[in-house]
Amino acid sequence: MTQVPDVCTDSMWLVSHAVRLELLPLGATLRRFEVLRPDGSWRNIVLGSRHIPDYLGRNLYLGMTIGRYANRIARARFTLDGVENCLDANEGRTQLHGGTGGFHARTWEISEQTLSTVEFSLVSPDGDQGFPGELLVSVRYELLPGGAQVTYRATTDEATVVNLTNHAYFNLKGEGCGSTDDHELVVHASGYTPAGSDLIPTGEVRDVTGSAADFRGGQLLGPSRAAAVAEGIALNEGWDHNFVVDGDGFREHCRLTGPDGTVLRILSDQPAIQVYCGDHFDGSQIGTSGRPYARRAGIALETQHFPDSPNQPAFPTTVLRPDEEYTSTTRWLVE
């Protein structure tokens, strides 16, 4: 039987012959994503906190479920059906990732658990962080051959907005093994949404052709970041951009390749993906391995709807009504 590493007592594991996940009820969090290497060793490819209180103390969102609204809402407010909704502002005048008490800060119930699946559930009351309607939410993790999948579902009793994602940071060399500047990234996106210094989109969808933001043919992250700075399109000192993924339906959003040839493919049914290269890591965050996370220790690849969609009529809608069900699936495959 596969031996599982020592972990916190609140965690649970999904284990197959080639993949194993460690999950936490706090934030419905993906704490470890371990893959079996050709030499028989296991490699953890996502960042996580060594100490559980750090998940709430540093606002890094490592592997946590983000909601009700992933990314940013300008001025921490939006109008829906003629009613203005004032939200918890936790980044200046902006709401980021659902507010101070967003879904990442909740302890979720375990509604189903098998050897290969865990489903977490949460009731978000009317007025939670300022959002209207009672929202019933589930997050289901399951193992797949060569990877894993996460599926989100939500229903509401009143019109509201929903945008759920997982905030995992990946390092294909292994968690705590240095910068991801030497990783190559492909993003299947012909456009991105430019943003101001507050990271709120301007409303434009800009063609990537001829710019540092063109990842369609693949770019090394280190040189691409330098190019973004030189071009004047860098955010948060590098990449923190919402890319508009080509096509519709369930499709490959991006492909990340580590220096040893390990490949992570991310597929989803969402219209966009946020690429954030983790420039805020400063060595003070201690990972699950006991090693510190220095600058750009991992890259976040968050499948999502556009930031600030509730205030941007030209963006795809994120409105959920009582007769509808929100569903979203993201798949991580390692080769």
Q: Give residues with Cβ within 8 angstroms of 307, minimum separation 6.
A: 71, 72, 73, 193, 195, 199, 200, 201, 242, 274
What's the CA gap between 235 and 229, in Å, rounded? Answer: 8
pLDDT at 56 over 90: no
DSSP 318-332: -EE-TT--EEEEEEE
The mean per-residue pLDDT over the stretch 83-101 comes to 97
pLDDT per residue as tens digits for the range 6-37: 444 579 999 999 999 999 999 999 999 999 99
Write down the mean pLDDT value for the chain.
Answer: 95
Identify the pLDDT of residue 1: 32
Instruction: Give the integer Cα–Cα distance in Å for 180 and 221.
Output: 7
**Which pair of tokens denotes residue 210?**
């001829």
The residue among 117, 146, 144 whose CA lies nearest residue 36 is 146
Rounded Cα gap, residues 271 and 128, in angstroms: 26
Residue 317, judged by CB atoms within 10 A of its CB (0-12, 13-18, 19+), counts as: exposed
- Hey, what CATH class is 12-334 in? mainly beta
Q: pTM (2 decimals)?
A: 0.95
Catalytic residue positions, numbered: 167, 302
Domain boundaries, the chain: 12-334
pLDDT of 248-267, one tens digit each?
999 999 999 999 999 999 99
- Using alpha carbons, select from 307, 319, 318, 312 the residue that is nearest to residue 91: 307
